[in-house]
A and B are shown apart, each in its own frame.
Chain A
């Protein structure tokens, strides 16, 4: 079955540091890949997505590239802010995106210190 593995947290960084959160997946075929963010006390928000190999998703300074050869979708940001403190979830769905339930990683709690 499908699975998503992401680095355990919490990850603590200083403001303006470079961020990488690793995510690897196991799936049949070519899944769609997503990063969702959950701010304290809120629901999940879609951060970015990629639907095929070598696609790069980007939003709010965050980027992730769909790497089929390494089955990875690592999240990066060049300069983090205190407001980026949240829990980040990597997720995948079968091709088609909207028709199937998502498989989530365990989440990475990111803490940015001023």
Chain B
């Protein structure tokens, strides 16, 4: 299975600032996904990132708040913009392949706390 590295692993940020999270995969993958896990909660899909096109956002998430880049088949970034304490969560990257029956694999996540 793919090895997924996320950076940073954790951060503490000030209200109103922005943070960019990186996701690097050791092989080319078609689909990359970003999820949010709020404290004590399940995972919620933020968006799907395809190379060469704009990300597709789920209901309740917008590009201005969570801009995503996908410059190639092994890398993606998620930015959490103008952060507030409500953005304190674990943000996870996962990867999958279109048309494949293989499950998604996840990185270890970025633990983000907003003061």
A contact set with B: CB distance below 8 Å: 32, 34, 36, 42-46, 49, 51, 89, 93, 96-107
Contact = CB atoms under 8 A, between A and B. Distances in A.
A99 B103 contact: no
Contacts of A43: 92, 106-109
A44 B43 contact: yes
Contacts of B1: 46
Interface stretch (B12-20, B63-71, B72-80, B94-102): B94-102
Contact of B43 (A96, A98, A104): A104
A106 B42 contact: yes
B30 interface: yes
Contacts of B26: none
A97 B43 contact: no
B41 interface: yes
Contacts of A101: 33, 35, 45, 48, 58
A64 to B, nearest CB: 13
Contacts of A89: 42-43
B106 A44 contact: yes
A7 B65 CA distance: 33
A49 B103 contact: yes
Nearest to A102: B104
B33 to A, nearest CB: 5
Contacts of A96: 98-101
20 contacts: A32-B103, A34-B103, A36-B106, A46-B103, A46-B104, A96-B101, A97-B96, A97-B100, A98-B97, A98-B101, A98-B102, A98-B103, A99-B31, A99-B96, A99-B98, A100-B96, A102-B33, A102-B43, A102-B104, A107-B42
A67 B102 CA distance: 20
Contact of A32 (B94, B97, B99, B101): B101
Top 3 A-B pairs, shortest CB-CB distance? A98-B96, A43-B108, A101-B45
Nearest to B41: A106
Given A89-B42, A107-B42, A99 B58 contact: no
